[in-house]
Homo-oligomer: A and B are copies of this chain.
Amino acid sequence: MTGESSSEVLTSRLGYLLKHAYLRLTEASTQALAPFGIDGRELAVLAVLATQYPLSQLEAAGRLGIDRTTMVALLDTLETKGLVERHRSAQDRRRNTVQLTPTGQDCLRRAEQAREEMEQRFLAPLPPSDADRLIHALQTIVTTPKNPGL
């Protein structure tokens, strides 16, 4: 952990700011979720799976913006933790439908609360209205279609 000194050259850079904000959040998230035996990525998977059933692995990966091969490993760990179950779909036996186990549902509920509290602490240095605007600004940026050319 090197020092946090920073001159204007850096704090005016969007890249530096986003990277370090992300790193800080990841650290806080990992810490906050440690009691539940999962990390932020795994929690996001659980949350997506809970919204709609049944989801195939590919569909879940698509919603999270991750690769299908990455989802395989992610589900492997979640399955060995007993939080999700894979079942071959009867309609299309190429697909695995993935669902939360009761343990997984319980874990999700409690971990989501911990995550929300962690995010509040994370945004605490900001006035509440600024925190809202930050969220909205990021949503706008992330949901804006990519400009292929530039």
| Chain A residues within 8 Å of B, Cβ to Cβ | 2-7, 9-22, 24-26, 28-29, 31, 40, 44, 47-48, 50-51, 61-68, 115, 119, 121-123, 125-126, 130-131, 133-147, 150
**Inter-chain contact B133/A9, CB cutoff 8 Å:** no
Q: Count the copies.
A: 2
A5: which B residues are within 8 A, CB to CB? Answer: 62-63
Main secondary structure, interface of A, reads helix
A6: which B residues are within 8 A, CB to CB? Answer: 63, 65, 142-143
Shortest CB distance A29–B (Å): 6
**Inter-chain contact A125/B140, CB cutoff 8 Å:** yes
Question: Which listed residue, B10, B31, B47, B67, touches A64 by the CB 8 Å rule?
Answer: B10
